[in-house]
Amino acid sequence: MKKILLVEDEPDLLEIFEHMLSGYEVIKASNGHEALELFERHLPDLVLMDIELPGIDGVEATRRITKTRPETKVIAITAFASRRGREILDAGAVDVLKKPFRMRELLETVRKYL
């Protein structure tokens, strides 16, 4: 089973997204620091990264993840795509999924990169 690291600071959204991804092994993180720790421990196949996070934001976490393992696919999930989308792509993300999104859109994007 493919592993996805899901990084989202809103607890309700974390649970909703986890449910949407029920066909995968989901590792959950609620901030950038936790995301980096869990990434190193689990080496997921894909990372879904919120941008606006407490502490280490999603842009910096993405930069560190892709520096460590350049082959890692990071997809940004954010309501701030127009403001910070280019920034996270420059940090190494392969795509930006704008919140709110439908389950079908999330699953199609995940399948595209797995």
Tell me the pTM.
0.96
Euclidean distance between CA atoms 29 and 40, whole angstroms = 12
- Domain containing 48 — which CATH number? 3.40.50.2300
What's the domain count of the chain?
A: 1
**Could you tell me if 22 and 44 are in contact, meaning their C-beta atoms sit under 8 angstroms apart?**
no
Q: Domain range spanning residue 64?
A: 3-113
User: How many CB atoms neighbour CB 37 within 10 A?
Assistant: 12
pLDDT digits (tens, 9 = 90+) for 40-86: 999 999 999 999 999 999 999 999 999 999 999 999 999 887 888 89
Angle, helices 11-20/103-113, rounded to nearest 10 degrees: 70
